[in-house]
């Protein structure tokens, strides 16, 4: 059976392109996740691995859709291989991971994907540090209306838990505003 796996990192992103490609390939069942590639808690991927049987072929449109680090990627490939299922990446010219050459290519590309992710993270951190050094504000701006309402209710004698319930905000927010 041809199985497909599609993943996007956030709920804001769209699976349509991957799903369309997997349908064109002829996938009879497609498993979908909306979770970070570095997260090992990908429910649909775990279901796919459980579902896969000998002779099945798992199709993935791109290497980085199934994992972002090499160790995780190799573990997934091994789990599928132990069940007798193949794993094919279509961005690599339909590379079959179960062949020796395919495994070497896959390992190399996975390592580059992981390296790129670390580089992106490093650039983001450098940008945040530069912004802090320049005195720029990071993160969301405080909700002044909410903060003033919290102050008002506290001055009226309402306890912190009741304030959070009344305003629909977390108790942490209430505590931070009243510090």
Q: Above 60 in pLDDT, residue 37?
A: no
pLDDT for 32 equals 93
Between the alpha carbon of residue 129 and those of residues 136, 137, 139, 147, the distances in Å are: 10, 11, 13, 28
Q: How many CA atoms lie within 13 A of 75 on its CB side?
A: 9
Look up tokens 């392109």; give the residue: 17
Angle between helices 144-155 and 160-167 (to 10 degrees): 140
- pLDDT band at 40, cuts 50/70/90? low
List the catalytic residues: 9
Quote the CA–CA distance of 66 and 4 in Å, as a whole number: 11
Angle between helices 70-82 and 43-51 (to 10 degrees): 30
- pLDDT band at 152, cuts 50/70/90? very high
Contact yes or no for 139/163 (Cβ under 8 A)? no
Contact yes or no for 45/38 (Cβ under 8 A)? no
Look up tokens 């279901």; give the residue: 47
Q: CATH: 3.40.50.1390, 1.20.1260.10, 3.40.190.10, 3.40.50.300. Which one for 2-117?
A: 3.40.50.1390
pLDDT for 12 equals 73
Contact yes or no for 44/19 (Cβ under 8 A)? no
Q: Where are the domains of the chain?
A: 2-117, 144-178
Q: What is the pLDDT of residues 86-122, one digit of tens each?
A: 888 888 777 777 778 888 887 787 778 778 889 999 9
């Amino acid at each position: 059976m041809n199985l497909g796996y599609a993943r996007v990192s956030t709920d804001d992103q769209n699976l349509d392109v991957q799903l369309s490609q997997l349908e064109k390939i002829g996938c009879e069942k497609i498993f979908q996740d909306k979770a970070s590639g570095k997260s090992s808690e990908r429910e649909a991927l775990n279901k796919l691995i459980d579902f896969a049987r000998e002779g099945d072929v798992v199709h993935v449109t791109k290497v980085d859709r199934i994992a972002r680090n090499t160790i995780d990627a190799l573990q997934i490939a091994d789990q599928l291989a132990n069940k007798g299922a193949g794993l094919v990446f279509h961005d690599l010219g339909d590379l079959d991971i179960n062949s020796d050459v395919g495994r070497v290519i896959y390992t190399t590309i996975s390592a580059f994907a992981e390296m790129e992710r670390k580089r992106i993270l490093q650039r983001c951190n450098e940008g945040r540090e530069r912004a802090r050094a320049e005195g720029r504000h990071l993160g969301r701006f405080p909700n002044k209306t909410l903060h003033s309402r919290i102050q008002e209710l506290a001055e009226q004698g309402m306890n912190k838990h009741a304030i959070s319930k009344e305003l629909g905000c977390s108790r942490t927010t209430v505590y931070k505003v009243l510090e």
